[in-house]
Every structure is written in structure tokens, then in C-alpha cells.
Homo-oligomer: A and B are copies of this chain.
Amino acid sequence: MKFCPDCAAPLARRVPPGDSLPRDVCDACGNVHYQNPKLVVGTVPEWEGCVLLCRRAIEPRYGYWTLPAGFMENDETTADAAMRETLEEAGAHIELASPFSMISVPRVNQVHLFYRARLRNLEFKPGVESLEVALVDEAKVPWKDIAFRTVGLTLKHWFADRARGEYGFHAEDIK
């Protein structure tokens, strides 16, 4: 951020009065421009013990496997975002269940949130951001080709909880 999005004047990086962190401050109009972490929201869509994975058709991690997920948009709830991303990336219609994992990734200023979900039918198909979509059981998960650590952690918790017969809510951090 170099210029004020409100008045186009150059921004200064400093701690505003009463604040404790450096911000992008406009000395022309006085506005302070905050930057905060983003929520990435998705699902673990299940069908008879298998989960639906998408192979990425975009960078980063083109060609690697992921759960359907993406940036939460303004004007939606976390549940809206989870359903929308699952439809967009996997063409899948789901019944959304409870939140399952929430993983902070401060290195990239993101919080990843995954819901449990059940596929309503098997009519899924790759969206424009996916090369292919596949239902896999635990033995067929491509662990070495998972796109993001939050996805790998979520899948590990999911299969462990399924084996236990009880699903928890998993909050953790990747530092």
C-alpha cells in the first residue's frame, strides 16, 4: 500500500496516536488504513466414508490436491462461504454440518476454517479452478500431493475422528 485509497496522497507507515502498531496513515486526509487477516473457508464433503478432493487448476500449488475452500467474501456468513466454495470448485451440492477445524496461519495472515459436510448426490464436477474432482477413501488420499498443510491436518483429524466414531472441533496454529 503506497497511496491513500480515499484521496490518492502518498501514505506514511507509522504508529498512529493511541495505537500500538505501525499502520498506513494518510497525512493529507487523516485516514488510517488497517490490514487484517483473511478467512479461508471450505468443507470436508463426505460420501460413505470417502472425502471429495479437488486438484488445483490455479496457482499457488497448481496440480496439487485440496479440499474445496476459498476466501470468504463480504456480505456472506462462514456457512455461506463454505457452501459457495464447495459448489464453485467441486460442483458439489452439500448438506453443511458443524465447523470442524480452524487453523491460524500467521505467516500468510490467514485463518482456515473447514466445515463437515455430506454430499447430497454424486453429481459433482470440477469448476474452473479445478482440474479434476475425486472421492477418495483414507488409503487413497494423495498425502504427498496435498496443496496446503491446513488441508492435510484437517484430513488427518477427519479420518482419526471418523475411526473414533466422534467428530470434534480442532483449533490449532501453523507457525
Interface residues of A (CB under 8 A from B): 1-8, 11, 18, 21, 24, 33-39, 71-80, 98-99, 102, 104, 106, 109, 111, 128, 169, 171, 173, 175
Contacts and interface: CB of A to CB of B under 8 A. Distances in A.
Contacts of A169: 98-99, 169
A128 to B, nearest CB: 7
Contacts of A36: 38-39, 71-74
A4 B98 CA distance: 39
Nearest to A109: B74
Classify the interface of chain A: helix, strand, loop or mixed.
loop
A55 B76 CA distance: 30
The 5 residue pairs across chains A and B that have the minimum distance between CB atoms? A77-B104, A3-B8, A77-B173, A1-B5, A8-B8
B106 A76 contact: yes
A110 to B, nearest CB: 10
A76 B79 CA distance: 24
A175 to B, nearest CB: 7
A77 B99 CA distance: 18
A6 B6 CA distance: 13
Chain B CB within 10 A, most for which of A8, A71, A79: A8
A71 B104 CA distance: 15
Given A39-B36, A128-B18, A171-B98, A104 B78 contact: yes
